[in-house]
Structure 1
Amino acid sequence: MDEQLKTITTHAFAAATAVSLGSAISYPLDTIKVLIQVGSGTNKPLTTAQILGRVQSISGNSGLYSGLGWLTTGRIAGLGARFGVYEILTAFYKDGREYSYVHTGEAFTAGMVAGAFESLLSSPFELVKLRAQVNSASWTPRSTVSAAAAAEKATISGLVERLLPGNLPNMKTLNQSVNLLATLGGPKQTNMIDSVRKYPWMMTGSGRPPSITDVRSPSQIISLEGWSSLWRGLRSGIVRDSIFGGTFFASWEFLHRVLITWKAVGMESPPESDEDVGPLSPIAVSLAAGVSGTVAAAASHCFDTAKSRSQCIVLPKFLYMERKFLKWKTPGKWFERQTGIHPSDRNILFRGIWLRMARSGSMSFVVVGGYLLGIDLLLPK
């Protein structure tokens, strides 16, 4: 039992180390990709050079690694769920078969289910990570904001400060609202201004939320937007990770079959099963994983853009309650509503696709290669 526990611990340590290494190496590509996705408009495409220049001028080179810890934690949990669920499902497929073989279609189905589980676990970490990345390229005139906040502090109630941190009141909208309500008259007219100030949507001008730079830590997000906001963009995230997982494992299984067949051709006697072929080269397996990750990233990228843009929106709890009360209908066609794509993002869904393909391919190569290398070094042969 002690030996089995030691083996499991070694595998877990090697996997976590490989994921951490892969995340650190590919993270600058992820930061640039995210900033292109959330910063680009239909008529305003951003280039890699522009993103690099802005991040370096505001946060320095360290800005490219903002949120790395959150991504690494989410990746360890997410990839553990992806490969764990995949192994469990494929074990049912292989049960009763003479040889341990998984068809490409079965690998695709199991990968889609595994990707959905991965999305559920990693979504909160991705949200905080994305907010940190956007903050690294966002310049806020702190001195101006502080002076204005000090001038208006006497007119802001504690309730508004708690609900809308870092957001200044729109006095023009407040005065217009008071003037409209003042025509009603009544004995309590003198207290109308103080009463109106208790409602955040009256103070901010039609419910305009704070800047994303002021709502980026987990405590701020939960306080202003609620616990459910940690899974914002879940629909597009599940579709993205399901397509990614299915394409990744189907491609990897196909390439694995090609490598085994290629190795079997050079053997003197034809092998009866895959076990007779022997283990494949770690470099070949890592390259197969890298190619599979690149293909899977290309297939699921448009949903990655939709998720990134939705996570970049600050939606306070009172606005969410208003939309729910008024039965606000999500815009877009049926497919867009079901997959979480906003109709205004139709022309920018493929922005940053080459960066994501490079990031996913390099990370998959490093994770699989690092895991195999770690097992080879830590476990006795």
Structure 2
Amino acid sequence: MEELLKNPVFASHVVAASGSVAIGTALSYHLDTIKTLIQVGASSNKKLNATQVLERVKSVSGYAGLYSGLSWLTVGRITSLGARFGVHEILTAYYKDGRIDNYVYVSEALFAGIIAGALESCLNSPFEMIKLRKQVAAAIHIPVPSSSISSVKSATAPIISRLLPGFIPDKVALDRTVNLLSVLSSKNHNLGEALKNCPWMMTGSGKPPDVTDVKRPQDIVRLEGWRSLWRGLRTGIARDSVFGGIFFGSWQFLHLAMLNWKAVGMDPPPERNDEIGPLSPLVLSLTAGFSGSMAAAASHGFDTSRTRSQCIVLPKYLAMERRLLKWTRPGNWFERFTGIHPADRNLLFRGISARMARSGLSSFVLVGTYFMVVDHLIAKS
């Protein structure tokens, strides 16, 4: 590994790849935030648009809220995109082995993209989960409690302090629940304090806490467990597999079309693709951006379903009950297989234009920046 890092060509590719991912993510992140909030805030009778989302974020956290969670996504994408392109290159190198013209069929590029996308989803899932929680929290106003810090700490039960430190229970909801249960016979004289020690009564109403209260990584792990970082993995694998297959398949198709276009008029006509010469970084960027938009449109339904599932707070004791009771997933066989909830059937295409724009811009900047930086560093070295 040390020898690879000392190799100037390998080091140039690493620096170019990391920098291009960071720049592409930063330039398109505001579109990702708009897309996420449109998906999360959508319902069957309510449809948000980009203007409403921008006004909401501006009123709650300012324009800086559009970039909430950027660092988490950047770190995750440097790892996951490296795995996506690396696995794709390894598989296509296997396909090209022994061929004279160094040729890769579109179907082979599509299959390699499907496998690479599945691996990308597994690596990027925890970072995407934390990023989404921070994006949603940036658009929701958190009221300041009127009680003092000391009284809040004294009123918080130990079970709540362990599961979600710093969480403030809803005293109004708890008092309402105590009044409803007071008509029943009970051996416990202090019903309110007893309910505080039940984990499912954290909020006082039996409902899980809001997503704004569970946005930090340590809070997610304490309340929802390590498995929650990979929630919606089945839908994520379906999304990234479709995205990777369409992206690399269409990119290979457009790449071959551009090579054939470049070969027109060459004398003598080239017998192999290597004789045509490489395409310019601008052409590669345009084809990658168009392929990214197409792949985003094809996989957007899975993206909406996963985004909405990751925004739901599911404490680990409820997840354990579902496993013990062998809870069956709702929906038809396709929805159960891909992880889509039937309640999201009419919402799967919300925010598709924002995601297409974000994927197209990110792919354009990523590929263009990568090739320009690599050419500059290699020529300089």
Q: TM-score, normalised by structure 2?
A: 0.93
Question: Aligned ranges for residues 128-277 of structure 1 at < 5 Å?
Answer: 128-142=130-144, 145-147=145-147, 154-165=154-165, 166-169=167-170, 170-177=174-181, 179-180=183-184, 182=186, 189-190=188-189, 194-204=193-203, 207-277=206-276
Return the alpha-carbon distance in structure 2 between the equivalents of residues 2 and 120 of structure 1: 26
Which residue in the other structure is 1:6 paired with?
A: 8
Which residue in the other structure is 2:38 paired with?
A: 36
Does residue 314 (structure 1) correspond to residue 313 (structure 2)? The answer is yes
Matched letter for residue 78 of structure 2: I
Shift of 1:376: 1.2
Return the alpha-carbon distance in structure 2 between the equivalents of residues 3 and 235 of structure 1: 35
Return the alpha-carbon distance in structure 2 between the equivalents of residues 261 and 296 of structure 1: 23
Does the CA contact (< 8 Å) of 1:167 and 1:211 recur in 2?
no
Return the alpha-carbon distance in structure 2 between the equivalents of residues 95 and 8 of structure 1: 22
Shift of 1:212: 0.8
Return the alpha-carbon distance in structure 1 between the equivalents of residues 239 and 331 of structure 2: 18
Shift of 1:302: 0.5
Which residue in the other structure is 2:101 paired with?
A: 99
Return the alpha-carbon distance in structure 2 between the equivalents of residues 3 and 153 of structure 1: 51
1:230-268 CA-to-partner distances (Å, cap 9, x unmatched) read 111111110000000000000000001101111111211
Does the CA contact (< 8 Å) of 2:4 and 2:10 recur in 1?
no
Does the CA contact (< 8 Å) of 2:178 and 2:191 recur in 1?
no
Return the alpha-carbon distance in structure 2 between the equivalents of residues 253 and 315 of structure 1: 41
SS of structure 2 residue aligned to 1:180: coil
Matched letter for residue 221 of structure 1: I
SS of structure 1 residue aligned to 2:270: coil
1:63-117 CA-to-partner distances (Å, cap 9, x unmatched) read 1111111111111111100000011111111112222111111111110000000
Point out where structure 1 has 5 or more consecutive residues left out of the alignment: none
Return the alpha-carbon distance in structure 2 between the equivalents of residues 181 and 349 of structure 1: 48
Q: 1:287 to 1:264 in 2, by over 3 A?
A: same
Which residue in the other structure is 2:375 paired with?
A: 376
Shift of 1:312: 0.4
Percent of residue pairs bearing the same amino acid type: 56
Point out where structure 2 has 5 or more consecutive residues left out of the alignment: none
Question: Aligned ranges for residues 263-342 of structure 1 at < 5 Å?
Answer: 263-342=262-341
Return the alpha-carbon distance in structure 2 between the equivalents of residues 15 and 172 of structure 1: 56
Q: 1:292 to 1:112 in 2, by over 3 A?
A: same
> What CA RMSD, in Å, does the superposition of the two structures yield over aligned residues?
2.0
Q: 1:3 to 1:239 in 2, by over 3 A?
A: closer
1:150-202 CA-to-partner distances (Å, cap 9, x unmatched) read 766544321123224525152332454565351xx5xxx45776554321214
Return the alpha-carbon distance in structure 2 between the equivalents of residues 194 and 27 of structure 1: 45
Does the CA contact (< 8 Å) of 1:291 and 1:361 recur in 2?
yes
Return the alpha-carbon distance in structure 2 between the equivalents of residues 101 and 33 of structure 1: 37
SS of structure 1 residue aligned to 2:184: helix
Return the alpha-carbon distance in structure 1 between the equivalents of residues 68 and 121 of structure 2: 21
Does the CA contact (< 8 Å) of 2:201 and 2:207 recur in 1?
no
Q: 1:324 to 1:374 in 2, by over 3 A?
A: same
SS of structure 1 residue aligned to 2:330: coil
SS of structure 2 residue aligned to 1:80: helix
Return the alpha-carbon distance in structure 2 between the equivalents of residues 105 and 50 of structure 1: 41
Which residue in the other structure is 1:346 paired with?
A: 345
Does the CA contact (< 8 Å) of 2:164 and 2:222 recur in 1?
no
Return the alpha-carbon distance in structure 2 between the equivalents of residues 87 and 240 of structure 1: 20
Which residue in the other structure is 1:47 paired with?
A: 49
SS of structure 1 residue aligned to 2:283: helix
Q: 1:95 to 1:298 in 2, by over 3 A?
A: same
Shift of 1:204: 3.7
Residue number among 76, 89, 102 corresponding to 2:91 in the alignment? 89
1:307-350 CA-to-partner distances (Å, cap 9, x unmatched) read 11011011111111122222222221111111111111111100
Does the CA contact (< 8 Å) of 2:30 and 2:66 recur in 1?
yes
SS of structure 2 residue aligned to 1:270: coil
Question: Aligned ranges for residues 116-131 of structure 1 at < 5 Å?
Answer: 116-131=118-133
Does the CA contact (< 8 Å) of 1:157 and 1:197 recur in 2?
yes
Does the CA contact (< 8 Å) of 1:164 and 1:209 recur in 2?
no
Q: TM-score, normalised by structure 1?
A: 0.93
